[in-house]
Chain A
Amino acid sequence: MILTNSLANFGRYCMFLTRTFSIPDRWSVFGKRTIQEVSKLGIDSIPLVIIISLFIGAVCTIQMQLNVSSPLIPSYSVGLATREIILLEFSNSILCLILAGKVGSNIASEIGTMRVTEQIDALEIMGVNSANYLTLPKIVAFVFFMPVLSVLCMGTAFIGGWCVAAFTDIIPVSRYVYGLQTMFTEWYVWYGLIKSLVFAFLIASISSYCGYYVKGGALQVGKASTDAVVSSSIFILLFDVILTKLLLQ
């Protein structure tokens, strides 16, 4: 039963994507909507990203210092380890898990409400491809803007660690900065950005799918919103494993 349902859902998701990735009825309308979505899904997420990154960067630095306080380990390894954590996991996987909550529930509830109030039916009656009109701008906008959020997250997290070094005495600032710079692997940045692109696509498309097929009323919209966050999170973790295997090994 679970397998049948999963297969049916996957098939419907593929058909939904087929409808979504068709040529827009009006490019000018598509462009305008995409810019609106960049603002709503991307720019509005910047404060959250900054706050979380700042604190996580600080916490990472403190915990690294606590765990590597050995005379055999050089002090700059605190900065180095913080950098690797931020670049490899936090700025993409963890950030996207957090954004799945904010952006995913936003998308699912918006589209779900449009479904239950017959706004999607109204679009269909007019001859508009509703999946394309509603979803494609969201996917394009979020995938386009996610690398910006990811880079912002990296920078802010490093600043969070620097603040700990600057305003406490657990590690000298020069050692922290040296740790950030030493043995730097540029590929890790690209690896993080590639992952963030894939995760952004998963969040936007899965959440749109959950909202688009809502049946019922307000209760079902709430459930769709929860399903969107849960499903997006699971697929982010699944693809995290797959992409890490493909890109780093």
Chain B
Amino acid sequence: MIEVKKLRKSFDGRTVLHDIDATFYTGKTNLIIGQSGSGKTVLVKSLVGLLRPDKGEILFDGRNLLTMTSQEVKELRKEIGMLFQGSALFDSETVLGNVMFPLTMFTSMSRAEMLDRAMFCIERVNLKGAENKYPSEISGGMQKRVAIARAIALNPKYLFCDEPNSGLDPKTSIVIDELLSDITHEYGITTVINTHDMNSVLGIGENIIFINKGHREWVGDMSQIYTTSNEALNDFVFATRLFQDVRAYVAKHGKI
């Protein structure tokens, strides 16, 4: 479980996160949602230690990231997997090389054991046969799956995903969402996903935190999101043309 308490972050005097409180549960897909520029990415980058918050606490199962020594942070990071918006695969390595990278750096496995583990992760994300291809030779969706395979190679306790569906078509987005949800439940990982994709919210959102202008506005799950009275969240949820049409139809006819 990850707990965030009174987290504040400013850039050049402009406060981007205002005393955020949040809890991310183990074995659940925890979603951070909000409009572009609302502070979602800053929150995720603060959670993984890429940005240093001005104040607050970030507790990884009771261990405060902000008071750890650099050695403790290094050890904690071995328990963290991250999926970046642009996948962040190493161009010079093949798919297999990318997945094997954390194993090479942080385990004392033999090469055969590393190969076994890497191939298991590659098969887990349905990429068998692509292991010798370079990132530039595979599609965006496949790159995301390679990044997921790399992120789970060390059996992480915490998995962070920064807009995993950006740049993907709706069908591929659903594949990625289902994969993340399955992995979360299968391995009991604390997964934190930063997204503004409503398909993800309605499909895998077990614990949803809505951030608006740097404030935590709402917390709930996907079944509660339709019935919320929070105006900002309603604006966000019903921002797509399809939802707006449905909403207008229901307002006019009383039901669909």
B236 close to chain A: CB less than 8 A: no
A29 engages B88 (CB within 8 Å): no
B contacts with A: majority SS:
mixed
Asked whether A125 and B74 contact (CB < 8 A) given A26-B104, A29-B105, A118-B85, the answer is no
B82 engages A122 (CB within 8 Å): yes
B213 close to chain A: CB less than 8 A: no
Within A102-126, the residues touching B (CB, 8 Å) are 113, 117-119, 121-122, 124-126
A44 close to chain B: CB less than 8 A: no
B78 close to chain A: CB less than 8 A: yes
Complex interface bits, B71-105 against A, C-beta within 8 A gives 1, otherwise 0:
00111111010101110111100000000011011
B43 close to chain A: CB less than 8 A: no
Instruction: Report how many residues on chain A are interfacial, defined by Cβ distance under 8 Å.
Output: 14
Q: From A32, which residue of chain B is reached at the shortest CB distance?
A: B104
Tally A-B pairs: CB < 8 A. Answer: 50
A163 close to chain B: CB less than 8 A: no
B48 close to chain A: CB less than 8 A: yes
Q: From B78, which residue of chain A is reached at the shortest CB distance?
A: A127
A140 close to chain B: CB less than 8 A: no
B50 close to chain A: CB less than 8 A: yes
Cα separation A118 to B82 with both chains bound (whole Å): 11
Cα separation A25 to B103 with both chains bound (whole Å): 12
Q: From B70, which residue of chain A is reached at the shortest CB distance?
A: A129
A128 close to chain B: CB less than 8 A: yes
Cα separation A163 to B217 with both chains bound (whole Å): 79
Asked whether A118 and B88 contact (CB < 8 A) given A125-B50, A125-B82, the answer is yes
B105 engages A118 (CB within 8 Å): no
B160 smallest CB distance to A (angstroms): 8
A117 engages B88 (CB within 8 Å): yes
**Best-buried of B48, B86, B88 by chain A (most CB within 10 Å):** B88
B104 engages A29 (CB within 8 Å): yes
A118 engages B104 (CB within 8 Å): no
Cα separation A241 to B48 with both chains bound (whole Å): 46
5 A-B pairs within 8 Å (CB atoms) are namely A26-B104, A122-B82, A122-B88, A122-B90, A126-B77
Known contacts A118-B84, A118-B88, A125-B80; can you find 18 more A-B pairs with CB under 8 A?
A117-B86, A118-B86, A119-B88, A119-B91, A121-B50, A121-B84, A122-B82, A122-B90, A125-B82, A125-B160, A126-B78, A126-B101, A127-B73, A127-B74, A127-B75, A127-B77, A127-B78, A128-B105
Interface residues of B (CB under 8 A from A): 48-50, 73-78, 80, 82, 84-86, 88-91, 101-102, 104-106, 160
